[in-house]
Amino acid sequence: MVKNKNNKIILILLSILGLCIFFGVWELSIRFGFLSDRTMCTPSTVIKTFILKLTETKPDGATITVHFLSSIKLSLAGFLMAVAIGVPLGLFMGYYKALDSLLMPVFEIVRPIPPIAWIPIIILTLGIGFEAKLFIVFISAFVPCVVNSYLGIRLTNQTLINVARTFGASEWQIFSKVCVPSSMNMVFAGIRISLGNAWSTLVAAEMLASTKGLGYMIQMGRTLIRPDIIVVGMVTIGLTGALMAMLLGLCEKKVAPWRYK
Amino acid sequence: MNKNKKIYYFLPVLSLLVFLIIWTILANKDGSMLPTPLATLTRFFEIMQKPISKSTLPLHIWASLKRVLIAFSIAVISGISLGIGLGWNKKFNAFAGPIFEILRPIPPIAWIPLVILWFGIGETSKIVIVFIGAFIPIVLNTFSGIRAIDPLLINAGKVLGANKRQLLTDIALPTTIPAILAGIKTALSSGWMCVVAAEMIVAKQGVGFLIVRGQESGDTALIVVCMLAIGIVSAILSTILTKMEGVLCPWKFSKTK
């Protein structure tokens, strides 16, 4: 028991040590000039820049809060639309064979194209405004929703369906009471991928064509050779992504609690 | 029953036809920027013969693929090693895990500006970006694969007198192969996406460059050709890996069927 406790303390100390070394080497290698401060900034500068960017609009035209809100609004809107349309579509495609063979061929053509490759054609047809980015985010989140919901239904245990049929369930009842609940695992895995996709695709879209948003901010940081702005942007993007994934995990627990038994 | 089956052969053809018709109608609308399917096809044959920036389409695809393959091989080797280290050794996990956790949620695309500042706009920066994109899923999957090993197997090995190295190479690694392969699959498609993104931001060659060239010159047919080419390559890559999966861990497939 005592040994166990000691072990835990050692592990925690090792974690702290690891982080200290990581940040220490980062900070010192720039302080002592191993790395040029034109290409990288110290962690302390990152924190300073972050606090400054909360109120300062220079050099990229907006405070970090404005960039952040603009990005999050877009990605959530696109993501929610994709879930609302993609999940039901995938579920129905998985259950109704006619719908499957009608839509699958077209879907199979569109599916392997990475969402980023849509950006140029969308810029040319829809411009660089809100709708254009919404559409790109939507595509990136839509595909995993459909694929996973479809697979979820397809992987439903045949025995469960047979049991329901023996007890006289109608087709709709089998679909809604047996297949849909049993597919929830896959559906949520898909939604999780969608969320990550939506977020990183939006960053890409903002880097390529935008006038605000976190992606725009880091791109400006590059043009102006301001590594501190880039790193602040990256950290914010990373944190937001992790936070959204966490919130989704909480939702999942509410909607499909049996997964956590 | 027989009649039903015929319908299922007929429906995909119908759906592709409808898709092409809708595409043509959209493209023929006044002021539409979309190319017609026919224009896309002609553009495809043209780019196969007439080079843009000294390369035809296959050469551009090859330029992108080369970057992906180099970065991907490095990522496979280092990612699997790090994943095993994190999953197998508790102390190493405590030490390096938190650092990895900080870097993990940053999308590979968000690294592009910083990587360009570090390595310039040459070949290296693209390889680094693809590497980041491929490295993370491989580490994550290897790690969770090792963690998900049934303790029963490990204990059985211990009882039969296996030493630590044998436990790792004879029990842990073979059990983890399906998880590692799943990671490799994600890594390859993520790497392919990253190379396109990196090339779209700065490059002189590659499909990502070609698609942006199409955008800059308003050549929408070229854009659609590139999109389809990118999609087809990505589909081929994932088919190859699925085949490999069947060869390397056949038990996984016999179980589901």
Query: Quick check: helix, strand or coil at residue B52?
Result: strand
Q: C-alpha B244: how far from its chain's center?
A: 15
Mean pLDDT (10-residue bins), chain B, 257 residues? 67 87 86 84 87 85 93 95 91 89 90 89 91 94 90 90 87 88 91 92 88 88 92 91 83 55
CATH superfamily of A42-260: MetI-like (1.10.3720.10)
Whether a cis peptide bond, with omega within 30° of 0, leads into A59 is: yes
Q: Which residues of A touch B215 (CB under 8 A)?
A: 120-121, 123-124
Contact call for residues B52 and B212 (beta carbons, < 8 A): no
pTM of this structure: 0.87
**Nearest residue to B180 via CA among B66, B68, B81, B67:** B81
Based on the number of CB atoms within 10 Å of its own CB, is B93 exposed (0-12), middle (13-18) or buried (19 or more)?
Answer: buried
For the stretch A197-231, pLDDT in tens is: 999 999 988 888 888 889 999 989 888 888 889 99
- In this prediction, residue B80 carries a pLDDT of 94
Tokens representing B65?
């693929």
Q: Which residues of B touch A40 (CB under 8 A)?
A: 114, 117-118
Per CATH, which fold does B39-256 belong to?
A: MetI-like fold (1.10.3720)
What whole-number percentage of chain A has pLDDT above 90? Answer: 36
Task: State the distance between the two ends of chain A, measured CA to CA, in whole angstroms.
Answer: 28
Nearest Cα of chain A lies from the Cα of B200 at a distance, in angstroms, of 8
Tokens representing A175?
């679909």
The Cα–Cα gap between A115 and B109 comes to 13
Query: Quick check: helix, strand or coil at residue B55?
Result: strand
> How many CB atoms sit inside 10 A of residue B165's CB?
8
Question: Which B-chain residues 46-85 have CB contacts (< 8 A) with chain A?
Answer: none
| ipTM score assigned to the predicted complex | 0.85
Contact call for residues A217 and A176 (beta carbons, < 8 A): no
Please give the single-letter amino acid code of residue B40: T
Query: Domain residues of chain A, as ranges?
Result: 1-35, 42-260
Task: State the distance between the two ends of chain B, measured CA to CA, in whole angstroms.
Answer: 24
